[in-house]
Chain A
């Protein structure tokens, strides 16, 4: 791992990011918070519907906000990569970061499971239809894993802190 960190930190891209860190990090951090608001807001809305809240809204309609959750996810994946490429050592040795990555994988796998197995049936459900238990579980896993990602992310400077980074 150490040699990977050293190698990455010395690449031209990483050096470029490091050189501009004084404005790049505040910009990317700001975008990262906007992205998380989008993810939690849009995906949270869909997850709540999967859990059976707001039954009057057809599930297909509630899913229509998801492209904006994807915008949030794309923002955060991109800015996250800027952070990682800039200072890989800050993350690789941090337990909170690994926990965040694991929860991210859970969230993504959960989406894949939903899209490939449950989605076609669920999208035909109309207003006032309750959702099957399997679908409720998907919704719950999604909500819990995204809040977990938020928690681990916020804890990064405090757990295994090896760096002065902005709070």
Chain B
């Protein structure tokens, strides 16, 4: 708890939370939303394709989604750290925050599994999508929906 307060009262924490400029907290929030759109948007695209949407799009082409996902994740990890530090004493003691991190971790693990199962074998790319991949895709969508929900609930809990 003392560490969390130290973080929140640090020069960086104070600047993010209190600087009378929209370039601090509000802008960092914008980046966090953009990152969310990139990670979830890109992953959802692949998940939907695996579940049968837009079958005319060659699955091999969608291996590219991992790059915007990675960029979005870096943006959100960085902006997330800034947001956390600014309110560490409050956020750090909220269970819902740790739920959010846990769900995000699971969603990223699922994305990694999809990458291995779907794109690990060149021959499999032309075959019909395996049921295992469809299951992972559905789980991925649910986990990202849960992450967004947990993120939103942080403002209320």
Contacts and interface: CB of A to CB of B under 8 A. Distances in A.
Interface of A: 26, 29-30, 33-34, 36-38, 40-42, 44-45, 54, 56-58, 60-62, 64-65, 67-68, 147, 150-151, 154-155, 157-159, 166-167
Q: Which 9 A-B pairs have the closest CB atoms?
A: A41-B41, A64-B54, A61-B56, A40-B37, A37-B40, A166-B155, A158-B26, A30-B152, A61-B57
Interface stretch (B6-14, B27-35, B118-126, B128-136): B27-35
10 contacts: A26-B153, A36-B37, A40-B37, A42-B41, A45-B45, A54-B61, A57-B58, A64-B56, A65-B53, A155-B22
Secondary structure at the B interface, as helix, strand, loop or mixed, is helix
Nearest to B144: A37
B92 interface: no
A60 B44 CA distance: 19
Contacts of A34: 40, 145, 148
Contact of A58 (B22, B42, B48, B56): B56
B80 interface: no
B155 A150 contact: no
B61 A30 contact: no
Secondary structure at the A interface, as helix, strand, loop or mixed, is helix
B100 to A, nearest CB: 12
A27 to B, nearest CB: 9
A111 B95 CA distance: 43
Contact of A56 (B33, B56, B58): B58
